[in-house]
Structure 1
Amino acid sequence: MDDDLNEMSREALIEMVKRLRAGIRKNRDSSGHDLCWFHPQLWALLPEPVAADVAVPPWPKFLRGCVAFRQSLDKELPGAAIADVEFGER
């Protein structure tokens, strides 16, 4: 899957690493409601295409997953600032 890397020049590899790092940083630095989004722009940094057949859980299961994600943030980042805004507000 990553055989293309063997054919890339040092300069091309450095440029790719910079692009990948920028994408990872953008995702990492998400905050507030932006933590909960579909991220095809991040996945597009890979050479293979983004799969069009993404499966999503039904609403109740999806929302339980969102709640579990938020609870994990309380555990893993207990001192995180609170962004007390409704979706769509900045």
Structure 2
Amino acid sequence: MDSDLNDMSRDELLAELVKLRNAVRAHRDSSGHDLCWHHPALWNLLPEQSSIQPVVPDWPVFLRGCLKYRQSLDEQLPDAPRFNKEFSGRDGA
């Protein structure tokens, strides 16, 4: 699956590494409502394309998962700053 790496020069490999690190940093630095979104831009950095569609839970199951995720943030990051800005849409989050 990663055989394309075998044909890359050292400079090409370094450029690929920097690109991937920057993508991981952007994902890591997501905050606020952006934590709730999937990140296809990150997945699109892979050389192979996938037609796999995410399986989306029904609303009650999905919302229970959101609550568990938010509770896990309280447990793992109890001192993280908080805010109460309402979500206003994907581009205005």
TM-score range, shorter chain: over 0.9
Post-superposition Cα deviations, 1:22-69, rounded to whole Å, max 9, x if no partner, equal 111111000000000021001111111143422111111111111111
| Seq. identity, % | 54
The 5-angstrom pairing of residues 3-18 of structure 1 reads 3-18=3-18
Greater RCO between the two (CA within 8 Å, min separation 6)?
Answer: 2
Matching residue of 1:43: 43
Q: Secondary structure at the match of 1:62?
A: helix
What TM-score comes out, normalization by structure 2 length? 0.90
2:80 equivalent in structure 1: 80
Unaligned regions of 5+ residues in structure 2, if any? none
The one-letter code of the counterpart of 2:48 is E
Structure 1 runs of 4+ aligned residues shifted over 4 Å read none
Counterpart-to-counterpart distance in 1, 2:50 and 2:35: 20
| TM-score normalised by length of structure 1 | 0.92
The amino acid across from 2:49 in the alignment is P
In 2, are the aligned partners of 1:23 and 1:42 still within 8 Å (CA)?
Answer: yes
Distance 1:43 1:50 in 2: 9
Q: CA RMSD in A?
A: 1.3
Q: Which residue of 1 aligns with 2:25?
A: 25
Q: Using the alignment, how far apart are the partners of 2:74 and 2:50 within structure 1?
A: 31
